[in-house]
Amino acid sequence: MQVLEGIKVLDLTQIYQGPYAAFLLAMAGADVVKIEPQDGERLRRGGGADTPMAFAMLNSNKKSMSLDLKHPDGKALLKSMVEKADILMENFAPGTMDRLGLGYDVLKDINPRLIYASATGYGLSGPDRDQLAMDHTIQAASGVMSVTGERGGPPARAGGTPCDIMGGIHLHAGILQALLGRAQSGKGTLVEIAMMESMYFTLASDLSHLHRTGETPPRRGDKTNTLTTPYGRYECSDGWIAIICVAEQHWERILTVIGRTELIGDPDYGDNERRNAREDEINAMIGHWCQDLTRDEAFRIMRDAKVPVAPIRDIEDVRDDAHMHQRGMLQNMTHPYMGNVVLPSSPIRLSEFETSALRFFPERGVDGAAVLSEWLGLEDSKIATLSANGVI
């Protein structure tokens, strides 16, 4: 049994944020139908002739149906499907679904149990509601860029797309909360997630610095704005390692490893505040120890001494990570035209419920006829007419 078995989801989302939330639902057993425009979801088209790996990752285990939501018959079909749906998800600009006549106020009258999940950049209300939002611009507006980068350098974007994925995680959590609420009340609800708000908690250490000192946190490419020391990245002969010391025993173990045991118990290094005042000196000591060791040698020595440490790996290293492959989080698969690929499963595991076996993303619209037959009981002749008229 799967925890979301029998839950029907209409996924109108695009790019990263919404599709990730829908992927998590699909991997938990929900019947997720991806509703795409006739030329395909924007991210699907983003690779030109090739399907981008990002699309393949974010849309596994879904069905695909193309639907023209500007056509009266397309609107009617969606409304009919809403009658059967548990969840509808969208991450269009605020007001888009309302202008189509398919907003929450319309759809909740059709199905009062519907969970309507909306993900935007700034939210459905407030003065910034209609401001265009992408991961890059939310990184800027949320404060993430202001604390990312090297000391004395310009603001920098964080790697990856953290705002999109954090937004997707919050959207997924909001949907699950709504399902639990509906189980108790029988009522659906509007779930609203703003990327801007989803990012605020990621800056907890920087906001602590602001509260503690009254000063805007400086950019620190090596660490967050905290007194914790040592805390940084250290160059080895062929790469880098990252170390953080969060307990006194970590400090003593580091000193033992680098051959500076005479500093154990020295009051000048007796706590984080004192060590922070000598941060450059401490970093130089660790850096000197690292410089003649390979990355993997330094990592193993620190790890074996039970110091919080990791090698700084590149993306290829992470994709080939033996640990995640052994756990089944990453899986080697062969796609008919993408060839050999590594796809991620869901990071969420429930001991008493199954997770879906990983299936490739659907081709655009490939499941449309089956979905309309299963969900609405439409006959083949009606489906053929809809297809001929460009509705599906």
pLDDT digits (tens, 9 = 90+) for 95-106: 999 999 999 999
Residue 5 has pLDDT above 90, yes or no: yes
Question: Which has the closest alpha carbon to 22: 62, 80, 72?
Answer: 62
Rounded Cα gap, residues 118 and 103, in angstroms:
10
Tokens of 26: 């699909």
- What pLDDT is recorded for position 301? 98
The count of residues in the chain is: 392
Interstrand relation of 240-244 and 231-235 (parallel, antiparallel or unpaired): antiparallel
**Average pLDDT over the chain, rounded to an integer:** 95
Residue 134 has pLDDT above 90, yes or no: yes
User: To the nearest whole percent, how much of the chain has pLDDT over 70?
Assistant: 99
Residue range 236-263, pLDDT digits in tens: 999 999 999 999 999 999 999 999 999 9
pTM as predicted: 0.93
Residue 355 has pLDDT above 80, yes or no: yes
Name residue 182's amino acid: R
> DSSP alpha helices (H): ranges in 158-271?
162-185, 195-198, 204-213, 248-257
- What pLDDT is recorded for position 286? 98
Residue 312 has pLDDT above 80, yes or no: yes
DSSP string, 20-78: HHHHHHHHTT-EEEEEE-TT--HHHHTTTTSPPHHHHHHTTT-EEEE--TTSHHHHHHH
- What pLDDT is recorded for position 224? 84
- Residue 2 in contact with residue 355, Cβ under 8 Å? yes
- What pLDDT is recorded for position 226? 85
Rg (CA), the chain: 25
- Is 330 strand, coil or helix? strand
- What pLDDT is recorded for position 45? 80
List all residues 6 or more positions away from 274 whose beta carbon is below 8 Å from its beta carbon.
267, 268
As a whole number, mean pLDDT of residues 113-139 equals: 96
Residue range 157-195, pLDDT digits in tens: 999 999 999 999 999 999 999 999 999 999 999 999 999
Residue 36: which pLDDT band, with cuts at 50, 70 and 90? very high
145-154: list long-range contacts, CB under 8 Å, 24+ apart: 146/216, 146/217, 146/219, 147/203, 147/206, 147/217, 147/219, 147/220, 147/224, 147/225, 148/219, 148/221, 149/219, 149/221, 150/219, 150/221, 151/218, 151/219, 151/220, 151/221, 152/219, 153/219, 153/221
Residue 201: which pLDDT band, with cuts at 50, 70 and 90? very high
Residue range 42-93, pLDDT digits in tens: 899 876 668 899 999 999 999 999 999 999 999 999 999 999 999 999 999 9
